Amino acid sequence: MTVTLTNPLRVGLRQERVVSPQCLVIFGASGDLTHRKLVPALFELFRQRRLPTEFAVLGCARRPWSDEDFRGHMAEALGDLVHEHRGAWDQFAAGLFYEPVDLQQPEHLVRLAQRLEVIDRQRATRSNRTFYLSVSPKFYGSGCSALAAAGLLSDPERSRVVIEKPFGRDYGSAQELNRIVQASAKESQVFRIDHYLGKETVQNILVLRFANTIFEPIWNRNYIASVEITAAETVGVEERAGYYESSGALRDMVQNHLTQMLALTTMEAPGRFDPEAIRNEKAKVLQSARLADELEPWNCCVRGQYSPGGSAERPLAGYRQEPGVNPNSTTETYVAMKLFIDNWRWQGVPFYLRTGKRLPKRMSEVVLTFREAPVHLFDAAGGSPTANQLILRIQPDEGAGFRFEVKSPGSGMRSRPVDMHFSYDESFGEPSDEGYVRLLADAMLGDPTLFTRGDEVEAAWRMYTPLLELIEDSPWQLPVHPYEARTWGPAASDSMLGRDGLMWRRP
Amino acid sequence: MSPQLTLQAPVALPPPELTDYLDKLWSHDLESSSGASTFTLLVWQPAWVEQHLVRTGRLDGPVTGVVRSELLEAAREAVPACDLPLSISPLSPKLAWALGQQIGNHPIEDLRGQHIDSAISAFQPRRLITLAPTLNHGQPLETLVAAYCPLPGEGTAAACGDVVVLRGDFGALQQGLQLLQPLVPADLPCWVWWNGSLDEAPELLEALAEPGRRLVIDTAMGTPRRCLDLLESRVASGGPVNDLNWLRQRAWRESLAMVFDPPSRRDALNHVVQLDIDVEGTHPVQGLLLAAWMADRLGWHWVESHAAPGDEIRAEFERTDGVTVQFHLTPVPVGVPSSHPGSVVGLRLICKPPGRQALCVILCSESGGCMRLEAGGMARMELAEEVVPMGHATDEWEMARLLGGGHDSTNPLLATAAPLAAKLLPNA
């Protein structure tokens, strides 16, 4: 294994903002997300000296744990990390507390409020609170209402609430959830999380576009022929069958992660780097986006479901054979679609989105394909010149690439495509923080830039409403095509692009 | 954004009535508003250069304490007029002293403490206390108070603050110190910004910078020994301290780190044999802090330092493998100096990994060239050359960054670099 030396001159150079004194209250503290993502992210923030000494975490769930139980479970879950940093963990763990709470029981909220006051005195957290709802989505609305009824969200300067995805199941339910949440707290207190926005490479889309002058003049319908956004996973449904059966790829990936990548790729430049300015532009572009054929969505969308595949040595079960999945399930594990954005910048440019499980590669990327040169002066090695492509690699091998034509060596004037690569690893050689580190810190700092606003979420759901209605009302019009596990999805998906004279990029 | 004035004209009060007036203000007049639960900012704001420029008619008033382009221009013009070398920085205490020798009696409208830079007011200080020493000896203590609230639409809630100005000659301000303690809310962080030379009024600085307060100084302002000793002693005492001179050097640290970000270059850092730093004029502190930071990060052990002709400083370090690293700090004259004395203008690092081509890293300031550092057989080495962007941030903006960062302790990099920089400076 290659070991990369750390850059000693880089250590400590970033002076990140320190979170203000506060107590982070995690509902669903006995759940998977807390010990897999949240507490590790908090411990990382602690080790980066970005948490003040006046800080506490109060875990809440229905299990009758004590503070010590909670600390023990978290230490166990973090395993080696705790052993490697024992001293730091002991300091951090002293700020971990636990209170058994059922959000549906008003008297529990009273007890919670009292416990928070005690913690304020113990840890000098000055009544600043961030409530993190890491609970079942069906409790998001009632959870916010319960917190508001207990007076825990009454101070907009001192209290915030973080809500995990999915925010709603469709346009109507998202509207309803927004109504309940916004009746409980001001929009400035609400942080709807989409962990894709915590990724460096997703944030880099903004920097690439708006910190460089070379891209902006060509970032439009005059120069860009099409855009592909892909999020491919190699894993199957794993232990999430219960959730996945009721969501599918469209709700699980497209409405949030892919749509956020779409918004960042297509939004107008904000007037300033300010949370509301950025979210305004994202909301505006999503409000202009639509399925390519809203009246007959089956023309612009393909659903698929993985069937058995793999190799003789390592066979892979099909989706319907996975534990917990209905053997006759019609839930899609793959979805591809074509969108348009009706505005001056993007009118007529097709956007192709695809995501799927059990595909051959784990990767996410945005590919901008430019228009061909108007006149072909040279012979091309491949018959015709390859269109220029800008590839933003979100994960893995984070970075960017640009494909362009050059003269092929030798006599004559033949052209051939070459690739220019930028790799985060080669340039920086340092792993970037896990998305939750960034997002948790931002939420506790009250910075909503990387969180989705209520109107953004609604615009995203509204875009997919014709599809969701079709799947609900006449699923036979949008059949689920089987595809062999570890292949690039159903053939119908290739045909959808083929009708436009295009092919999916095979990364 | 331009600086903002307080909306309300400050009220001049007899000093003994100050505390009562503020209590009344918050319990009656501003009862409906929640006071900003942020911090107190206590500023020592002599603005000597500005006061003298206005007094001698070289600059139109009022005196605000905020560095603006007209002030820098007038100060630059004053440098040759005062028979000072052109490489003297426009905010140098030497210029203030020279201007003080010149006659002039233009009236000075004094708005110090009332003219708040928008970068700072954006953080809504709960209380902004300005100590404004005047040129007039014997001027008694004046106290001015104003409340301010954000303009409608600026924020979600009306979180107001107040402004207190203590003005008078040095003796009067020392008397005014007793007023200060009750003015600093005990439950909020307090920042003390010593926005003047570190040579002046050491006992006042001592009194203001109580251990729990977050002190901000500028080690470009004052004699180098005093600046580094003060920094070192504050670090040693554990009191939080920030240095604007250190912050202004940020681009150099970042640029140098950037050169070694690609993993393929990192090994070269273990084989450094020479470090050269060029600074503007004769104030070496910024250059020494940069060298000390590198030495600390790379694990070099300081061996000795000595002064060399031409105000050069030479020193030796020992690497962890016992090899010697030579360090030269060279003052270079410049025609148009930066606003603060001693800015770094060039850096050269020579690494000689055994069995491989030597690497020479040259960083030079946007304001000058690298020719001096490019000389001396660099052609045989792999050359990595970068231009370091000039910092355009004002001191107020740097202050605002500190205030926004919320750090309640000394930056650990500065804490380790400060004592080493103090060792690097040869004793006179």
Residue A506: per-residue pLDDT: 84
Asked whether residue B384 is domain-assigned, the answer is yes
Q: For the ranges B25-29, B54-58, B114-118, B394-398, which has the lowest average pLDDT?
A: B25-29
Asked whether residue B240 is domain-assigned, the answer is no
Chain A contact probe: residue of B297, B347, B386, B399 with most A CBs at under 10 A: B297
Residue B121: per-residue pLDDT: 80
Cβ density class A94-125: b for 16+ within 10 Å, e for less: ebbbbbbbebeeeebbeebeebbeebbeebeb
Integer Cα distance of B422 and B226 in angstroms: 10
User: Which residue of B159, B298, B411 is in closest CB contact with A8?
Assistant: B298
Q: For the ranges A377-381, A472-476, B78-82, B254-258, which has the lowest average pLDDT?
A: A377-381
Integer Cα distance of B113 and B64 in angstroms: 7
Q: Is B153 on the interface with A (CB under 8 A)?
A: no
Residue B156: per-residue pLDDT: 46
| A chain contacts of residue B411, beta-carbon cutoff 8 Å | 12, 15
- Is there a contact between A1 and A34 (Cβ–Cβ < 8 Å)? no
| A chain contacts of residue B406, beta-carbon cutoff 8 Å | 17-20, 52
- Block means of pLDDT (10 residues each) for chain A, 507 residues, are 69 80 95 93 91 92 96 95 93 96 93 94 89 94 95 92 93 96 95 91 92 94 97 92 91 95 96 92 96 94 95 92 94 97 97 97 96 86 85 90 91 89 85 86 93 95 94 90 96 95 89
Query: Given a cut of 80, is residue B407 above it in pLDDT?
Result: no
Residue B155: per-residue pLDDT: 44
Asked whether residue B125 is domain-assigned, the answer is yes
- Are B295 and B374 found together in one domain? yes
Asked whether residue B402 is domain-assigned, the answer is no
Minimal-distance CA residue of chain B relative to A10: B257
A53/chain B closest Cα distance in angstroms:
10
- Per-residue pLDDT band for B158 (boundaries 50, 70, 90) equals low
Asked whether residue B417 is domain-assigned, the answer is no
Average pLDDT over residues B237-252: 93
- Are B40 and B55 found together in one domain? no
Chain A contact probe: residue of B33, B34, B37 with most A CBs at under 10 A: B37
A10/chain B closest Cα distance in angstroms:
5
Class of domain A197-498: alpha beta
The contacts of residue B296 (CB under 8 Å, 6+ apart) are: B413, B416, B417, B420
- Per-residue pLDDT band for B6 (boundaries 50, 70, 90) equals low
Residue A1: per-residue pLDDT: 41
A157/B159 Cβ within 8 A:
yes
- Are B120 and B26 found together in one domain? yes
| A chain contacts of residue B262, beta-carbon cutoff 8 Å | 426-429
CATH of the domain at B341: 3.30.360
Residue B154: per-residue pLDDT: 44
Q: Is B298 on the interface with A (CB under 8 A)?
A: yes
Q: Of B364, B40, B89, B415, which is closest to residue B212 (Cα–Cα)?
A: B40
Minimal-distance CA residue of chain A relative to B246: A13
A12/B261 Cβ within 8 A:
no
- Are B257 and B117 found together in one domain? no
Asked whether residue B236 is domain-assigned, the answer is no
Q: For the ranges A14-23, A172-181, B56-65, B229-238, which has the lowest average pLDDT?
A: A14-23
- Catalytic hit among A73, A108, A257, A421: A257
- Are B19 and B159 found together in one domain? yes
Residue B1: per-residue pLDDT: 40
The contacts of residue A420 (CB under 8 Å, 6+ apart) are: A401, A402, A403, A404
User: Which residue of A9, A20, A188 is in closest CB contact with B406?
Assistant: A20
User: Which residue of B156, B257, B406 is in closest CB contact with A7?
Assistant: B257
Average pLDDT over residues B175-179: 86
Asked whether residue B398 is domain-assigned, the answer is no
Average pLDDT over residues B248-255: 92
| B chain contacts of residue A52, beta-carbon cutoff 8 Å | 406, 408
- Are B352 and B205 found together in one domain? no
Integer Cα distance of A261 and A203 in angstroms: 9
Residue A58: per-residue pLDDT: 97
Q: Please say if A257 is a catalytic residue.
A: yes
How many A×B Cβ pairs under 8 Å? Answer: 73
What's the structural domain count of chain B?
A: 3
Average pLDDT over residues B159-177: 87
Residue A111: per-residue pLDDT: 95
B345-387 per-position pLDDT tens digit = 999 999 999 988 899 999 998 766 677 788 777 777 888 888 8
User: Which residue of B256, B263, B411 is in closest CB contact with A429?
Assistant: B263
B267/A5 Cβ within 8 A:
yes
B298/A7 Cβ within 8 A:
no
| B chain contacts of residue A424, beta-carbon cutoff 8 Å | none
- Are B263 and B194 found together in one domain? no
User: Which residue of B261, B404, B408 is in closest CB contact with A10?
Assistant: B261
Asked whether residue B428 is domain-assigned, the answer is no
Domain range holding B179?
Answer: 4-47+112-210
Taking every pair of Cα atoms in chain A, the longest distance, rounded to a whole number of angstroms, is 85
- Are B201 and B144 found together in one domain? yes
B186-224 per-position pLDDT tens digit = 878 899 999 999 999 999 999 999 888 999 999 999 999
Minimal-distance CA residue of chain A relative to B38: A20
- Are B11 and B155 found together in one domain? yes
- Are B11 and B79 found together in one domain? no
Q: Is B212 on the interface with A (CB under 8 A)?
A: no
Tell me where in chain A the CATH 3.30.360.10 domain(s) lie: 197-498
Match domain A22-164 to its CATH number in 3.40.50.720, 3.40.50.620, 3.20.20.70, 3.40.50.2300: 3.40.50.720
Chain A contact probe: residue of B126, B260, B351, B402 with most A CBs at under 10 A: B260
